[in-house]
Amino acid sequence: RNVLVLNPNFANAHAELGRALIDVGQFGAAIAQIEKAIALSPTDISIYMWYYFGGLAALHAGDHQSALDWLRKSHQANRVHDSTLRLMAVALAGTGREDDAREKIREFLKLRPDATLDDWKRPNARRHPAVVARWRAGKTPYGALPLA
């Protein structure tokens, strides 16, 4: 937030603040920051990550269709960002489209063939107590994923 005081038009700072807000469970605030980043720099080289962050926030908020919309934009901006495919599978499963989810998992595994289920369970950030608590409580968006 301090960076944004110095430069409120720094798009990447808005996106990274959005990412941090996801970790502490403030999904609506996260999406607002990500949308601000996109509005400030709609052709930014990092836009695929910003859309990915939006999808992640929507998944954690339980809005699978919105997550899918965000993640499709991420995938369109960068077709080789494998984590986008992984989250697309989760969003598809959450909307009841299990066959499509399995297909996304297959696409993901083509890009990352040595991926394991343990990789999926590992949180990206374990330092913040709120993040650790959410993961320990099982409050992750991955529960609906059809892995069988």
Give the amino acid at 60: H
Query: Digits of tens for pLDDT over the chain (148 positions)?
Result: 667 767 788 999 999 999 999 988 899 999 999 999 999 999 999 999 999 999 999 999 999 999 999 999 999 999 999 999 999 999 999 999 999 999 999 999 999 888 887 776 665 545 556 656 665 665 555 555 554 4
CB pairs under 8 A, 24+ apart, for 97-101? 98/146, 101/145, 101/146
Residue 26 φ/ψ, nearest 5 degrees:
-100, 70
Cα 116 to its chain centre, rounded Å, is: 19
pLDDT of amino acid 134: 60
Exposure of 71 by Cβ count < 10 A (0-12 exposed, 13-18 middle, 19+ buried)?
Answer: buried
| 63 vs 68: CA distance, rounded Å | 9
| Tokens 């989760």, located at residue | 90
